[in-house]
Structure 1
Amino acid sequence: MKDFPAAYQVSKGSALDLDRPFYARLAEAPGRELVESFTIPIRTGRAWEVPAGHVVRVVAPEGPQVGDLNIWNRHDPRERLWAARTRQLQGAHVTTFDRLWSTLPFLRPLVTITADTLAGYGTDEYGGRVHDLLGTRCDPYVNKLLTGQDFHFHCHSNLVRAVLPFGLTEFDVHDVLNVFQVTGLNHDDLYFMRDCPAKAGDFLEFFAEIDLLCALSTCPGGDLSVPLWGPDARDPIEVCRPLAVEVYRLDPAVLAGWSSPQVAPYRGGHGLRAEKGWWEETPAGA
């Protein structure tokens, strides 16, 4: 099958032209200080703050387990992870040196991935790849539609409960990065999920480009080795495992010359202009 070039191309000096040596140094720099660590039990979620310039590591401490990650600007939750645009700019699956981008009108990198122990997974025989932006979180609404049953510990619900102490609600929970999850599209162009390849100690690590609020759910599907819907579905509780989070402060010397990215320079005219208190359309080219 022929390959076709990506729509969004990297030009030298553009916003997509990443300084890879800088981010490689962040991953390897000595002297990082562990400032927070915790474990998220099975079928739960937790939210936490991350100051700009810190590194977050999501770890599979006991073996394969999928986690659903949300990210917001800590000071303005209207700015949050934009999975669709990130798919276009970086890929439907992400790894080291990829960035997770924020929603309009902000459109800037929220985080940059600095390390990924599953980077070598590549593409499997089914076309599956790891760290998925292709799908989204499991939720009790689709579960009710498909099974007729209520279940309150889907990733959507776990994230809802996690962010309530930070003043956010269900309306703030958004499309996720599925950490450690392998997905793809089959020959019928339908989304598939397969068993998680993570082993004990595997991790995904990212650098906070701005002050963040993060939330992570330990998926109730566990390692996704058990069918969740359909005729063979069963409760996958026996393949559910915790996830761990570690937050590190970096030596300021390592960050010399770095600053948080500014929001997109477009200032939102949208082809309109103010005229005598009314908004009128601006002719093309005016």
Structure 2
Amino acid sequence: MVICPLKALMTSSPNKNRLTEAAYQCLPGGPLDVDKGLYDEVAATASVEPSLRTLVESFILPIRSGKAWEVRKGDICRIVAVEGAQVGDLNIWSLYNPRERFWASRTRQLQRAHVSVYDQLWSTLPYLRPLVTITGDSLKNYGVDGSGTDAEGGRVHDLLGTRCDPYVNRMLTGQDNDYHCHSNLTRAVLPYGLTEFDVHDVLNVFQCTGLNDKDQYFMKTCPAKKGDYFEFMAETDILCALSTCPGGDLSKAMWGEGATETTNADPTLECCRPLGVQVYHLPDRWLAKRGWKEALPNGPVYKGRHALKEVSFSTAFKE
């Protein structure tokens, strides 16, 4: 797969302003078009044919903690609000090559700023492939009349922001906090030989955010309720890591106006809840019979070598 060709980017409906349409168009049969029928079948195995799913891993992630786990290609991963509203910060890597990891900003361009069913989470250059496809989202109809947007412009499953971290916390408050999402994810990946430098921009699962009238990022109280879920299918073998955000459901300020000035108080602790993770395997060849294939990197397709040219030493040093 390659990104949309120029002619696709310039395709415009006569009734719309081309300059305000999506820069990366999803055209039928194009590289951004997904087989919705296939992913509908995958989603249906959760309710219509649950016997097709075999549970291969399940755990509860406590508050203010992080954990990493593997998801094999074609397997399904579900994140569940087991006790109520709670934001989770999600990182994803290619299992065998951590240099290939989830690319939040490009996904924001290729898909949208808040993702849901049928959206794919793309990897970094030079790989550029979908790591997962979202197959289930109990909050997909969030907002006014199921539009996806609430009265204040908030949407869920956010790619606008990133993880909270102890460095920004120190800058804003003058205090240290070791349980921000960046730190939780750092601890989570250490058993896999990764470090803080491998932690990257996240998908904020269940988080409700938007831009205000000053074009500034805002975070609202998480709308998830007990039993709400976010589910995706792995398009290749991946390593996932999830943090239960120390802000919990974000109903109370973590810093700035509205946050406590008492060092010993922790106003957000009562807002924190655990998250559940379940990984399911479908019957062997179930996906293959429906035409699914593992997503392959786009890197080998590009042959231009960034306009660099090899020069032989005999030519380079000839007088």
1:8 pairs with 2:8: no
Whether 1:212 and 2:238 are equivalent positions in the alignment is: yes
**Which range moved further: 70-79 or 268-277?**
268-277
Which among 263, 269, 272 is matched to residue 297 of structure 2?
263
**Could you tell me which residue of structure 2 aligns to residue 162 of structure 1?**
188
- 1:231 deviates by 2.9
State, as a whole percentage, how many aligned pairs show the same letter.
63
Instruction: Answer 1 or 2: which has greater strand percent.
Output: 1
Per-residue deviation, 1:12: 2.5
The aligned residue for residue 202 of structure 1 is 228
Compared with structure 1, are the counterparts of its residues 262 and 255 closer, same or farther at alpha carbon in structure 2 (3 Å cutoff)?
same
Aligned to 2:10: none
Q: Secondary structure at the match of 2:305?
A: coil
Offset from partner CA, 1:20-41 (integer Å, 9 cap, x none):
1011101113211011000000
Q: For 2:113 and 2:255, how far apart are their aligned partners in 1?
A: 23
Select the structure that is richer in helix.
2
Q: Cα gap change, 1:268/1:211 in structure 2, threshold over 3 Å: closer, same or farther? A: farther
Q: Paired residue for 1:147? A: 173
Q: Name the structure 2 match of 1:17.
A: 33
Deviates more, 1:194-203 or 1:21-30: 21-30
What aligned pairs does 1:162-181 form with structure 2 within 5 A after superposition? Answer: 162-181=188-207
Letter in 2 for 1:124: D
Q: Structure 1: state its 5+ residue gaps.
A: 281-286
* In structure 1, C-alpha distance between the alignment counterparts of 2:83 and 2:130, rounded to whole Å: 31
3-state DSSP class of the match of 2:186?
helix
Instruction: Kindly name which structure, 1 or 2, has the bigger radius of gyration based on alpha carbons.
Output: 2
Match for 1:182: what amino acid?
C
Matching residue's letter, 2:192: F
- Give the whole-Å Cα distance in 1 for the aligned partners of 2:268 and 2:127: 39
Residues of 2 paired with 1:268 and 1:88: CA distance? 24
Structure 1 pair 268/33, CA: closer, same or farther in 2 (3 Å)?
A: farther
Task: Please give the secondary structure, in 2, of the residue aligned with 1:274.
Answer: coil
Instruction: Say whether residues 1:274 and 2:310 are aligned partners.
Output: yes
- Aligned residue number for residue 59 of structure 1: 80
User: How far is the alpha carbon of 1:168 from its aligned partner?
Assistant: 0.1
Q: Secondary structure at the match of 2:24?
A: coil
| Alpha-carbon displacement from aligned partner over 1:50-109 (angstroms, at most 9, x marks no partner) | 111100000000000000000000000000000000000000000000000000000000
> For 1:267 and 1:41, how far apart are their aligned partners in 2?
47
Which residue does 2:56 correspond to in 1?
35
Aligned length: 279
Q: Distance in 1 between the 2:29 and 2:227 partners?
A: 36
Tell me, which stretches of 5 or more residues in structure 2 are unaligned? 1-15, 143-147, 261-266
Tell me the equivalent position of 1:120. Answer: 141
- Paired position in structure 1 for 2:164: 138
What is the one-letter code of the residue matched to 1:61?
V
Moved more, 35-44 or 260-269: 260-269
Q: 1:228 Cα deviation (Å)?
A: 1.1
